[in-house]
């Protein structure tokens, strides 16, 4: 097993067997909980500045196999953040109207405006994952989409949107445990779908599809981060750290106050 690197070098080949989904730096779960609490305070402050400044935006994309933890990490990392400045979009199967347009049409309209953080729970990458694995369109169609996605993300980046993409990497054995947990807990039965089982049989095909997109669509302006996600608490920590680092680099600032505020008197 190679030493874990969260962010592969743009353009380099990706072999997911070199990324240990069980990795957690030998950290203590309680210490991690305390660190995440401190990170979230900083995130809240930076998000407020981003919203007030209104000049930049942040797009956070989450992809994973079923039970990979997209919902959980979004809830944990963005808990306490002002919802006025964060928009979470969960992309399901496309509607007939969406199918009548190009594959990026439904995605583009949900990208975050300046001042906002946009969070994608699944994304445009389904069109080189599900579509590819299930042969929903000819290979001649989906194979051109990698470059189209790169151009789309370049457009967003050129217009002030910082892009972070997270692949939540769990093992097949861990997925089985999480599916069994959903079956065993009546409060979680609703999360189980019979459709998860045929997808699980396609595990190797999905791993290959992920490896290709992690190579073809990993760029300096829209990097992929391969997050070890067997341990939910470590997954949350790495994601929170990465988002915070990006916002600190963006360095949003409160706008300058109007002149003459020191002379304002509020009438009774």
DSSP string, the chain: -PPP-SSPPTT----GGGS-TT--TT--HHHHHHHHHHHHHHHHHHHHHHHHH-S-EEEEEEEESTTSSHHHHHHHHHTTS-GGGEEEEE--SPPHHHHTS-TTHHHHTTSPPTT-EEEEES-GGGGGTHHHHTT-S-HHHHTTHHHHHHHHHHHHHHTTEEEEEEEEE--HHHHHHHHHHHHH-GGGGGG--TTHHHHHHTHHHHHHHHHHHHHHT--SSS-EEEEE-SSHHHHHHHHHHHHHHHHHHH---PPPPPTTGGG-----
Domains and CATH numbers, the chain: 31-249 (3.40.50.300)
Overall average pLDDT of the 203-211 stretch: 97
Question: How much is the pLDDT for 2?
Answer: 43
The pLDDT tens digits for 29-83 are: 888 999 999 999 999 999 999 999 999 999 999 999 999 999 999 999 999 899 9
Question: How much is the pLDDT for 196?
Answer: 83
């Amino acid at each position: 097993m190679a030493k874990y690197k969260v962010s592969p070098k743009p353009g380099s080949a990706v072999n997911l067997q070199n990324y240990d989904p069980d990795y957690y730096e030998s950290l203590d779960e309680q210490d991690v909980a305390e660190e995440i609490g401190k990170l979230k305070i900083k995130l809240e402050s930076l998000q407020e500045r981003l919203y007030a400044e209104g000049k930049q935006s942040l797009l956070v994309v989450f992809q994973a196999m079923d039970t990979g933890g997209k919902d959980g990490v979004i809830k944990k990392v963005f808990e306490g953040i002002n919802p006025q400045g964060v928009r979470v979009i969960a992309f399901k199967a496309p509607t007939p109207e969406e199918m009548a347009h190009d594959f990026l049409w439904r995605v583009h309209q949900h990208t975050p405006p300046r001042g906002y953080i946009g969070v994608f729970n699944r994304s445009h990458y389904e069109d080189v994952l599900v579509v590819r694995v299930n042969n929903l369109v000819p290979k001649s169609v989906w194979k051109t989409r990698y470059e189209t996605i790169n151009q789309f993300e370049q457009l967003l980046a050129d217009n002030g949107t910082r892009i972070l993409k997270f692949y939540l990497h769990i093992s097949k054995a861990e997925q089985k445990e999480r599916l069994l947990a959903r079956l065993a807990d009546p409060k979680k039965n609703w999360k189980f779908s019979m459709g998860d089982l045929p997808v699980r049989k396609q595990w190797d095909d999905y791993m290959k599809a992920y490896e290709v997109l992690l190579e073809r669509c990993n760029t300096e302006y829209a990097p992929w981060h391969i997050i070890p996600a067997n341990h939910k608490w470590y997954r949350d920590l790495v994601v929170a750290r990465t988002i915070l680092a990006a916002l600190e680099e963006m360095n949003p600032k409160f706008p300058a106050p109007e002149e003459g505020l020191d002379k304002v008197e509020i009438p009774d």
